[in-house]
Amino acid sequence: MIAASGTIAPRHQQAEAEIDLPFAVMLYEDSLRADAVLAGCMRNLQKRGLRLGGVIQIAHDRPDRHRCDMILHDLWSGEEISISSDRGAQARGCKLDLGALAQAAVWMERALDGPLDLMVLNKFGKQEAAGRGLLQPLAEAIGRGIPTIAGVSALNLDACIAFAGGRPAILKPDGAEIQAWCRRQVESKLSPPSQ
């Protein structure tokens, strides 16, 4: 169970929680494909009128670079920001721009202030696994009962499961499966509990 601080609650508090969290992870091997699937799903859900918060990643290929630019798109406002620092044409790896990541956290927190049907995080990555990055707004959304989905690689899956208290639904990077889970979560939130 997630504590207010975005950390895992003590075991005695976890035992008290009877209701599963409205949280799913999209487990992927190919991050570019997963980003495209998640982005397509979220755009389809927005077209159907769902109010989405959070970020999706858009890869911008650069012919003069070995790696693409990582652009985060805020689903709430439509704003975009590059989260990769340009290290030059010969650089092989990416360097995350922590200031840009902090801006994405502000966007997610701002979305939490409005009427929100679903929160999205393109990647539960190294920063989140270490208790930083976009973990706080992610925890806040889940703690408020807002259906939330995050992409995660096998490398960070254990940390993500520990963060969630071991209860997220695990989805494939399949558009139909992801959209069905999102719709079920939103519909169950709108339906009155059965007596």
pLDDT tens readout for residues 101-118 = 999 999 999 999 999 999
CA 120 to each of CA 14, 29, 57, 141, 193: distance values in angstroms, whole numbers, following the listed order: 24, 19, 11, 10, 25
Residues 162-173: tens digit of each pLDDT: 999 878 999 999
What pLDDT score was predicted for residue 122? 96
Look up the CATH architecture of domain 20-55+98-188: 3-Layer(aba) Sandwich (3.40)
Q: Where are the domains of the chain?
A: 20-55+98-188
Q: Any idea which of 39-53, 72-86, 88-102 has the lowest mean pLDDT?
A: 88-102
Residue 24 pLDDT exceeds 50? yes
Q: Which residues contact 177 (CB under 8 A, 6 or more apart)?
A: 171
CA distance 156 to 124: 7
Q: Provide the 10 A C-beta neighbour count for residue 75.
A: 27
Q: For the whole model, what pTM was predicted? A: 0.83
